[in-house]
Structures are given as C-alpha cells and as structure tokens.
Chains A and B, each alone.
Chain A
Amino acid sequence: MGDKGSIWLPDAMSTFANEVDALFWFVFWTSTVLFIAVVAAKVYFMLRYKRTDETSVPEPVHESKLLEAAWIVVPTILVLFVFIWGFDVYLKMNTDPTDAYQISVMGKQWAWEFEYAEGVTAFSEMYVPVGRPVKLMMNSQDVLHSFFIPAFRVKMDVIPNRYTSLWFEATEPGEYQIFCTEYCGTTHSGMLAKVVAVSEEDFAAWIAEQSQDLPPEQLGEQLFAQCAACHAVDGSAKIGPALNGRFGTDRKLADGSTVTFDENYIRQSILDPASQVAEGYQPIMPAGYSSMSAKQIDGLVAYIKALQ
C-alpha cells in the first residue's frame, strides 16, 4: 500500500499519508496552472504593450464587471473546496481509533524515550506493529519539542506541562526517520530516532525479548542511544567529549583540576553534569538524565567501562 515518494514528497507509509498527498498534489497542480497563467499574461502584456512612442498616453480600460467578479468568485470556490477537503483529512488524522496500541513518548534534550505498556523502554528505535493503529501520548521533560515522522505525514508538538498525542497506522515494514522539529537547543538537529515498523509476530517477539532483564553492559548500550547525539564512541569530539578508551585515565576539567575517569566520575557526570565539566567543553549537558535509576546508571557505567 505504501506509495513511492517523488521529488516533492517522501514515501507515503501510513494509512492517511496518501490522502494528504492527494490534497498536496491537487493544490500543487492548481497553483501551478494558475501561476503559469499569471506569468504568461504578465510576459505577454509586457511585450505586447511595450512603450514605443514617448508621447503616447493610452486610454483607461473599461473594466469588465463580469471578469472582476469571476476572479473573485472562482478563487473563493477553489479555496473553500480545498479548505473542506483539508478539514476532512484533518479530522481523520485527529480522531484516533479507540483500539489503538498506545506508546508513551518522552522528549528531552536531546533524545526520545519510548515506553511501552508491557514495561519495555526503548530509545533510538521505536518498534511498532504494521497494520495496527498506534497512538503516541507525548510529554516533554524540559522544553518544547516536536515529533515528526515525514513518511507518515504526522507531526505534533511535545510540551512540558500537558500530554499531546498523535496516531498513525504503518502500512509496510521498514525503518522511517523521526525528527525533532521544534528548536530545543544546541543539539536540536541531533535529536533523531527511527520508527521500526514490523509485523505483528515480530513485534510480539521484540516485546518479549526486551522484557527480559538484560545484563548491565547490554542495558547500558541500549540506554546510551540517548547520549549518542552528543557523545561519540569512536574517539571523535562532538558537542561533548568521546567516551571510548577513557576509563581509568586522568581527565582534565574546565576548572583546571584533574580527576580519574572512573565509576564515580561517570555517575557524578550523569547526576550533576555541571559539577565536573571536561576541559574544552561547554557546561551544556542537560540535568534531566539524573532521573535515571541506579540500575540504569550501573548499566551505563558498565557499558562505558568496556568501550575501547
């Protein structure tokens, strides 16, 4: 069912994406035809009525009431038609099916967190079943964010003081990009994730797999997805310092002192990021990660410790 995209629009992979696209193409082609007409008239008049005689003064044109009425009435009908059509599709996009599968989405600088009813938490990848409506209940831990999946044609702001929601139904298995589209600070453009749409069976299998208790290092690897916008694990500097191969070494801090990069340093940096800022970096790490559980922090420590 999913339609291939074009130069203008990405692939259409949700149930209502095709309806949005149909409307887009109607406005696009109507506008193009009218635009060409305006430009053609303009160019024709420009050439046809070019001034040749400096003394000539053309007579005023008797304005045709019928023509004037036509160019008010016709556009009005056209835009009302488009408005009603747009309203109809908008209603569909706004009315979530009552049997939708619900996922909680938390936006925070600069990562997305997905919580499933089964108790599973995911970070960089949001698994969803194909062919079943999915409703996202979204909230922000800090500033405004906006949740955007181009392939599904859905977008909704994510706000700190209330829930907002959106729904979609994926039509085909695949991976689709998630963007943050409300400016949220330094690494706004790194606040990315993927939707992974899979069949019902694969989805159930994924949930079951995620529900098992992971060993700390694997848990840490999974959690690290929310750190990856700012911290590399291949030695390159991003907004924050790279974290591989650092364990057990001395680290110079911005205030000139030196600490050992050990378990306590990692823990301290998560709970109170501004207290021990590495030399050469800005104290911009959000404090929001301090809400992690002790188990999660253990996992991250184990993961970072093992990074080569």
Chain B
Amino acid sequence: MSDSASSSINYLNNDKSIKSWLFTLDHKRIGIMYLIAVSLAFLAGGILALLVRVELMAPGETIMSADAYNQAFTLHAVLMIFTFIIPAVPAVMGNFVLPIQLGAKDVAFPRLNLASFYIYLLGACIALGALVVGRVDGGWTFYTPYSTSVGDGVLFITTGVFVMGFSSILTGLNFIVTVHKMRAPGLTWNRLPLFIWSIYATSIVQVLATPVIGITMLLLFLEKFLHIGIFDPALGGDPVLFQHFFWFYSHPAVYIMILPAFGIISDLMGTFSRHQVSGYKFVALSSVAIAFLGFLVWGHHMFVSGQSAVSSVIFSLITYLIGIPTGVKVINWVSTMYKGSVQLKTPMIYAISFLFTFSIGGFTGIMLGVLAIDIHLHDTYFVVAHFHYVMMGGNVIAALGGLHYWWPKMTGKMYNETLGKIAAALVFIGFNLTFFPQFIMGAQGMPRRYYDYLPEFQSYHLWSTYGSWVLGAGLFLILFYLIASLKSGKKAGLNPWGALTLEWTHTTTPPNPHNFEETPIVKRGAYDYHLAKELFASGGEVSEVVTSGK
C-alpha cells in the first residue's frame, strides 16, 4: 500500500515550478518555505555564536575587537530570537502539521497565511537593515538611553520586530480560527492532539502581546522626530519605562518560544510510549493558563532596575504561580512512559534530552525568581545559562525532535537513524558542556556581555567554548544527513512511528495537495492507543488512509 500511495500525486510533485512555490496557498508548502528561511537564520545565528565563543577563550582580544564582539553577540541574539525561535515551531511545524492534525484541507485563510510569510521576510530584512544604517550593540534588550545614543539602529530593529510580529499576529489569528472552525467531525476539544493545544495557546499570546512592541516603536519614533521625552532622560523621559514596555512584550514572547515546544514533547511522549499522555486535560489547559499568566510576570526581569520593592515582591510571587504548572507538566511527561511501551527512536531521544535540559532550566528559573538570590545572579552568566537551557535546551531540542518526527511526512524520506542518534548525543553533550559551566561562573560573579574578563573565569570559558564545538558538530551533522536523505534516504512509509494523529493515519506520505481524499471522521482521542489495538495487531503499518483506488 505504501508503494502505491507514495507514487501518486503529492504536494511536492504536483507542480514543480518555482512560481508554484512562491505563490502557493498550500499550508504545507508555506511551512517548508518557513523551514528554509528559519534554518538559514539559525545557521547565521549559530555561526555568530561560535565566533563569540572563540573570542571568549581567553581574556582580552582573541579574534575580534571589542566593538566587533559587542555587535556579534547582539546580532546572534536578534537573529536567534526574532527571526528563528519565535517563528520556528509555530510557523514551520504549526503550518505543516496543524491543519492536517485537525483533519482540515488547509488553514482558514490560506492567502493571509502566504502574506504572513512575506511579511516575515520583509520584517527580517528591515531588522537586518539596522546593521547597514548604524551600529547595533548591547544585546537583544536594547535598553535606552544607550541604544538610542549610538544611532538609529534601534528604530530599525523595533520596526523589523514589529513587522515580523505582524506576521506572528496573522499566523496566530489564522490558527485560532482554524482550530475553532475546521476540526474534522468527531474531533472534540478533548480529543485534540496536545500539539494543537499548545499552538492554540501560543497563538493567543502572539495576537495579544505583539501590539505592545508596536506601541514601543511608535513611542521611540515620537521621541526621535518630535522630541517628546518618553525614554530619554535628557528630554525628561524615563529609561526604566522602556524596560517595562520591552518586557511586557518580551516576557510573553518567551512563552511564544516555549509553549510550542511543550506541544511537540507531548506528542512525542505519547507516540513513542504508545500511551495516553498522563494528565491530558491538565497539560492542555495549563498551556492556556500559562499563556495568560505570562502577561503578569514581566517585572521579574527588573528586580534591580529601580522598580519599587513592592512590585518586585508581587512579580516574584506570580512567577512561582507560573512555575508550578510547568513543573507538573514535566512530571506528566515522565509518567507518560510509566507502563507504556517505549521506543527510543531519534525524536524520542530528543524528547528525553528535553526533559533533562528543560528541567535544569526550570529549577534555575525558580532560583532566579527568589528576590534575594536574583540580586546576586541578575545580569551574570547564570542568567545567560538559564536562558539558553530554556530556549535551546527547551525550544530548540524539542524543535529538533519535532523536525525528525515529521521529516518523513514532510519529505517522504527517512533519514539515517544511526547518524540521527549520534547527532542527538553530540547535541546533548555539547549543549551541557557549553552552558553548564556558565551557571558556575555566573554565580561566581562573571557579568554577561563582557568582551574582556578577569583571569579566574578563564577555565569556565574554555570548557564552554569546547562545548560549543561539540554542539556545532552535532548540528552540522544533522544538516548533512537531512540533506543527504532527500537524495538517498529510504522511502518513508505512511506511519513509521505508529502514531494515531491524523497526519499519520489518514494521509499519504508525503500528503497529497489537499491532505485527505475524503474528510476523516475521528472516533477516538489523539493518544487512545488502547482503542486502536486492531491497527497494531499485524505489527505492520498503522494506517487508515483512503486512497480510493488512485
């Protein structure tokens, strides 16, 4: 069956012209175009990270000047956060997977979806334009008055972020409508895959938070051109106000970055344990709760900024409220394996790695939420390490798991499983080697964004740099074998992982341009393996795909 299915028309081969890609309204093709765009952003940001780590191998100048270093780490952060992590999972996997998991032919507004992609490209170009017009340094936070004192770069960056944000708003809106209106018959909210729940929660944050960066941009422009004092103390403004605006957007943005990862991990844990995800309702609804609570904790970035002590106390308390559901999710993912049937394929290895690295990110987050401790740790490498454990150890490792999981469906090809496992191990070891020493040197007092440092910190920096090479090797290995699989990979079956969500059970591999031959009718929840025993009884391919003789 798999042969006849894969030789038929699919979304990749139905029209191969360049024009058919650039003007496509197919959510799958738009997802693939996003995949290429964010991968390039990740590659560029990653190369910058490697350069930054080499510079830090020894105190003083190693390979670049102070100004070059300051701009390199800033550009690394801007590329990684705004052009890679924020769109990566929702725009790539959300676009490709979400409509199919819902049993829909496409998203609710396909034209808007294509528009989102081009708006994203436009925004990325504007943000990169900042490098051409002026100097941009000081990290991705762009605190005034420094950022506005070195040129107009910050205006470009906020404009670029806002334009890219518009792309997020439109994608989010599209997904919210799609989830509400286009679920297949029988696909009730309680049966939705958890990936859908988390993308849904992410979409809410995208729609609500992004306008704030627009307001910030407008205020920066008012100050620049009409000289109305808002952030600039020289004009009577308040630089701390900028921090409030920045974090009112950027803290929810952190949840835009991490919630989709939660969705991927839930799907991976369920599929590769062939088991119901423990505490399904809690995992689903806590994502939505986190999405809302995420708006109320921005001040925990500002305990030493000069904000009032009372605010700091309240923000610290709410931070714990948001930490608990996150912790409970981790317990739920672990207990999904309990009495399950665990298969350690490459995507599952990433899910297991995630539980390790993300837990460290979570516990150190609790540490940073403690008022008295944060005063010591704030703006040191401890924060840098915590952030990377959540963003890279959380989002990126989950995204890699998701990419390996859906790769056969996207491309119709299997990657080399052995190389996949070796790369996953390299990424895990390299990641921990890079960032764990940063916790220690941060607690010892090493401040972040330092070009030069005191000699006592060198051994930690050295380990960190060695780690970055292992990590880089792992990531380049992935790039290599994924591209190789397009040429020489084995043909993927309909459902190589034995998953029960619709993209695996009811579509061909790769899916045909309209996803389904006929509208699927859903009779069980996304992880109700025990209700689908007959599908597994033969030990062969698990599929209910209808090809109607084509």
Within 8 A of A (CB), among B215-266: 233, 237-240
Given A82-B366, A148-B445, the answer on whether A49 and B340 have CB atoms closer than 8 Å is: yes
A 42-66 to B, binary, CB cutoff 8 A, 1 in contact else 0: 1001100111011111111101000
In the complex with contacts A144-B145, A146-B379, A181-B538 CB distance below 8 A: no
Which residues on the B side are within 8 Å of A35 (C-beta)? 359-360, 363
A72 cross-chain contacts in B, Cβ below 8 A: 324, 328
Question: A61 to chain B: which residues have CB within 8 Å?
Answer: 275-276, 278, 335, 338-339
A8-53, CB < 8 A from B = 8-10, 19-20, 23-24, 27-28, 31, 34-35, 38-39, 41-42, 45-46, 49-51, 53
Complex CA distance for A46 and B352, rounded to whole angstroms? 9
Residue among A61, A180, A188 with max Cβ neighbours from chain B (10 Å): A188
**Which chain B residues border A160 with CB–CB below 8 Å?**
145, 233, 239
**Chain B residues near A63 (CB-CB < 8 A):** 278-279
Residue interface mask A154-194, B partner, CB < 8 A = 1: 11110111101000000000000101111111111110000
Bound Cα distance from A125 to B106, whole angstroms: 67
Q: Which segment of A73-81, A205-213, A255-263, A265-273 sits at the interface?
A: A73-81
Flag if B146 contacts A143 (CB, 8 Å). Answer: yes
A45 to B146, Cβ gap below 8 A?
no
Chain A residues near B138 (CB-CB < 8 A): 183, 185
B450 within 8 A of A: yes
Q: CB within 8 A of B67: which of A10, A50, A76, A186?
A: A186
Bound complex: CA A72 to CA B321 (Å): 11
Shortest distance in angstroms between B67's beta carbon and chain A's nearest beta carbon?
A: 6
A86 touches B370 (CB 8 A): yes
Pair A161/B233 contact, Cβ less than 8 Å: yes
Q: How far is the CA of A169 from the CA of B367 in the complex (A)?
A: 24
Answer yes or no: B481 CB below 8 A from chain A CBs: no
* CB pair A57 B341 closer than 8 Å: yes
* Chain A interface bracket (under 10, 10 to 19, 20 to 34, 35 or more): 35 or more
B406 at the interface (CB under 8 A from A): no
Determine whether the beta carbon of A155 is less than 8 Å from that of B146: no
CB distance from A120 to the nearest CB of B (A): 27
Chain B, Cβ-Cβ closest to A17: B376
Q: In the complex, what residue of chain A is closest to B280 when comparing beta carbons?
A: A63
B331, B359, B539 — which one has the most chain A CB atoms within 10 A of its CB?
B331
Question: Which of B193-201, B288-296, B485-493, B527-535 binds A?
Answer: B527-535
Q: Are B371 and A90 in contact (CB under 8 A)?
A: yes
- Is A181 a contact partner of B448 (Cβ separation < 8 A)? yes
8 Å CB contact of B240 from A8, A59, A159 = A159
Q: How far is the CB of A286 from chain B (nearest CB, A)?
A: 10
Q: Which residues of A contact B388 (CB under 8 A)?
A: none
Interface residues of B in 443-482 (CB under 8 A from A): 443-445, 447-454
With A58-B340, A157-B305, A184-B146 given, is the CB distance from A42 to B452 under 8 Å?
A: no
Find out whether the CB atom of A148 lies under 8 angstroms from the CB atom of B530: no
- Verify if B320 is at the interface (C-beta below 8 Å from A): yes
CB–CB B238/A161 < 8 A? yes
Interface string of B397-432 (1 = CB under 8 A from A): 000000000000000000000000000000000000
Distance of A280 from chain B, by nearest CB (Å): 12
> Is B323 part of the contact surface with A, judged by Cβ < 8 Å?
yes
With a cutoff of 8 Å between Cβ atoms, the chain B residues found around residue A2 in the complex are none
With both chains docked as a complex, state the minimum distance between the C-beta of B526 and any C-beta of chain A, in angstroms: 13
Instruction: Determine how close the nearest CB of chain A comes to the CB of B14; give it in whole angstroms.
Output: 34
CA distance A28 to B356 in the complex (A): 16
Q: Tell me whether B211 is interfacial, beta carbon within 8 Å.
A: no
Across the interface, do B304 and A157 meet the contact criterion of CB distance under 8 Å?
yes
Q: Which residue of A lies closest to B273 (CB)?
A: A49
B316 near A: Cβ within 8 Å?
Answer: yes
Q: When chains A and B are docked, how far (Å) is the Cα of A92 from the Cα of B530? A: 57
User: Quick check: A38 and B371 within 8 Å, CB to CB?
Assistant: no
Assembled-state Cα–Cα distance A30/B215 (Å): 42
User: Could you say which of A8, A27, A144, A177 contacts B366, with CB atoms under 8 Å apart?
Assistant: A27
Q: Which 4 A-B pairs have the closest CB atoms?
A: A150-B445, A161-B233, A89-B372, A90-B371
A-B contact pairs, 9 of them (CB 8 A): A49-B337, A56-B341, A56-B536, A58-B341, A83-B317, A87-B313, A148-B447, A185-B146, A189-B452
Given contacts A75-B328, A85-B370, A144-B145, 15 further A-B contacts (CB under 8 A): A24-B373, A31-B367, A38-B331, A38-B359, A41-B335, A51-B341, A61-B276, A61-B278, A83-B317, A89-B372, A90-B313, A154-B376, A183-B138, A184-B146, A187-B66
The chain A residues found within 8 Å of chain B, CB to CB, are 5, 7-10, 19-20, 23-24, 27-28, 31, 34-35, 38-39, 41-42, 45-46, 49-51, 53-61, 63, 68, 71-72, 75-76, 79-80, 82-83, 85-87, 89-90, 93-94, 142-144, 146, 148, 150, 153-157, 159-162, 164, 177, 179-190, 239, 282, 284
